[in-house]
A = this chain, B = another copy of it.
Amino acid sequence: MTTIRDVAALAGVSLGTVSRVLAGSPATSAESRQRVAAAVAQLGYLPNARAGSLRRAKTDVVGILISDVRNPFFAELAHAAEQEALRRGYVVMLANADEDAAQEQLYLRTFSAQRVDGVLMAPQSKDRVHLDRLIGTGLPVVFVDRVLPGLDVPSVTSDNVGGMRSALEYLVARGHRRIGYVGGPAPVSTAIDRLDAFVHLRAELGLPDDESLVQEGDFRAESGAAAVDRMLASGSAPTAVLAADGLMALGALAALRRHGVRDKIELMSFDDLAWFEELTPPVSAIANDATAMGREGMAALLDAVEGGRPVSVTVPTRLVDRRGAGS
């Protein structure tokens, strides 16, 4: 590998001058700039960012830790966050916790070892203690989509309560009263918020509160199918089912089809996927704005990295009506 010394030697200037030219310092003569540029081009020199960051104590690298890239919602979110980071001159290390606490922790350690400048993450909940230590070291962290209560960390989340309200009002407007709910895994904040909102609003709207209508999944497709199986096995079937995320909606769809009630029981999803439109009948959804969450989450993180004190924000959801609220 060619180093800055090689460039200096070839350009006939000192190593310090090369560094200054490369950093765009104004304290350089036109001639130096020109000689250095020539040498760099000739040698195909590319600065070693790791060496530089060691000295500067800043890496210009941020970590993104999400639960599953294969979940379209997170894929979109990660992509938007990455674009924002790139725009502001940072590179991203993307890691997948795979909905697994041990992997989450491993990656967090790795991020620390790499001395990333900040971490944008959707926490799995559980071990608040490790995260606490991490934040204690001064590493800027921002939560996105999910939060861990009791930690003083800025967050960008979606309006789970508002979204749930739109969803239930929509289903009620379509004539449903027995509404089943496929929730997410208990420890995750979005699962908690959505379930609480569901239970609360169900009472407010005077809907039956049969407990078999509420089933827990894990934000993966299979669990959505299993939840619907349990719901139907319980005897008194719902007339509509709301799944707490897109992947579980897919599983629920498969189960409804398998039970031969795809046309009888209406499905709705908290999270919108492009292909819902192509189904017969189509599936209405509450759209989470993954792009906005990724972009704003990263913006908040970089603000924190650069010394700011970002505030938590909530991103609104949007009802995507594919069946007509009155029909």
Contact = CB atoms under 8 A, between A and B. Distances in A.
B46 A50 contact: no
A103 B87 CA distance: 11
A18 to B, nearest CB: 16
Interface stretch (A89-97, A118-126, A316-324): A89-97
B59 A70 contact: no
A92 B91 contact: no
A50 B277 contact: no
Interface string A135-147: 0010000000000
Given A46-B109, A50-B53, A277-B254, A75 B70 contact: yes
Nearest to A253: B278
B46 A113 contact: yes
Interface of A is mostly: helix
11 contacts: A48-B54, A50-B53, A50-B114, A69-B69, A69-B78, A75-B75, A93-B93, A221-B274, A250-B274, A253-B278, A254-B277
Contacts of A133: 44
A110 interface: yes
Interface in A224-260: 250, 253-254, 257
Interface in A35-53: 44, 46-51, 53
A79 B70 CA distance: 7
A95 B96 contact: no
A1 interface: yes
Contacts of A19: none
Nearest to A78: B69
Contacts of A106: 86
Contacts of A91: 93, 95, 110, 114
A296 interface: no
A112 interface: yes
Contacts of A114: 49-50, 61, 91
Interface string A46-72: 111111011000010100000011101
Given A50-B50, A93-B94, A94-B92, A250 B221 contact: no
Contacts of A112: 46
Contacts of A48: 54, 113, 115
Contacts of A1: 115, 137
A246 to B, nearest CB: 10
A82 interface: yes
A59 B59 CA distance: 14
A280 B253 CA distance: 12
A68 B278 CA distance: 22
A62 to B, nearest CB: 11
Interface string A172-202: 0000000000000000000000000000000
Interface string A280-296: 10000000000000000
A302 to B, nearest CB: 17
